[in-house]
Amino acid sequence: MSDREANPENSNEHSEGGPPGLFQLVLSVMAAAIGVQTKAGRERDFRTNSPLPFILAGLLFTIAFVATLILVVNLVL
């Protein structure tokens, strides 16, 4: 019996060393943005083969966040 079958709560995680799913990527980036991350989430993120998806998602999040702040400030002033 595989670990995934024995532990159904891990069924939504990506495979060992494989690329993260979109939901997992967004969840990890959001957790990193506010500075909270579970130990299991951090370990899952570090098992991926490449940090590139996390870097790109982080850059896109940062650009969107700064653009939102600029838009809000311009609307208020």
Q: Where are the alpha helices (DSSP H) in 1-77?
A: 3-6, 22-34, 39-46, 52-76
Amino acid 49: pLDDT: 87
CB burial string 12-50: b at 16+ within 10 A, e below: ebbeeeeebeeebbeebbeebeeeebeeebeebbeebee
pLDDT tens for the chain, 77 residues: list them.
545 544 444 545 555 667 888 999 999 999 989 989 889 988 998 898 889 999 999 999 999 999 999 999 999 99
pTM: 0.69
Nearest to 58, CA basis, from 30, 36, 39, 38: 30
